[in-house]
């Protein structure tokens, strides 16, 4: 977990994921616990103050009941 984490998101540290498509995608709604992969390839788990829309791939969602363990 990166020291750059905050109430918006839990930023992962370590090897970057390779994205099949570079750049942004059309914006769509996001939810608490969404795991988004920005252009740097390091996933972000959205927390309490997450944005309402996003334009990066979402590769999964952490269940609300499991978020305290992740944070």
Residue 1 located in a structural domain: no
Our count of domains for the chain comes to 1
**Domain carrying residue 14:** 9-66
38 is written with which tokens? 């920005």
Write the CATH number for 20: 2.40.100.10
Dig out the tokens for 33 from the structure.
Answer: 């616990």
Q: Is residue 41 part of a domain?
A: yes
Instruction: Please tell me the predicted confidence (pLDDT) of residue 47.
Output: 96
Task: Please report whether residue 4 resides in a domain.
Answer: no
- pTM score over 0.85: yes
Which pLDDT does position 19 carry in this prediction?
A: 83
Of residues 71 and 9, more confidence is placed in 9
Q: Cα dist. 9→4, 20, 26, 60, 70 in Å?
A: 9, 23, 20, 14, 11
pLDDT in tens, 1-54: 999 999 999 999 999 999 887 778 899 999 999 999 999 999 999 999 999 999
Specify the DSSP class assigned to residue 14: S
Q: Which residues of 32-61 are buried (b: 16+ CB within 10 A; e: fewer)?
A: ebbbbbbeeebbbbbbeebeeebebbbeee
């Amino acid at each position: 977990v990166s020291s750059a984490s905050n109430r918006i998101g839990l930023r992962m540290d370590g090897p970057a994921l390779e994205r099949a498509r570079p750049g942004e995608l059309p914006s769509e709604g996001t939810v608490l616990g969404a795991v988004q992969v920005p252009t740097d390839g390091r996933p972000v788990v959205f927390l309490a103050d997450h944005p309402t829309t996003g334009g990066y791939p979402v590769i999964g969602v952490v269940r609300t009941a499991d978020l305290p363990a992740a944070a």
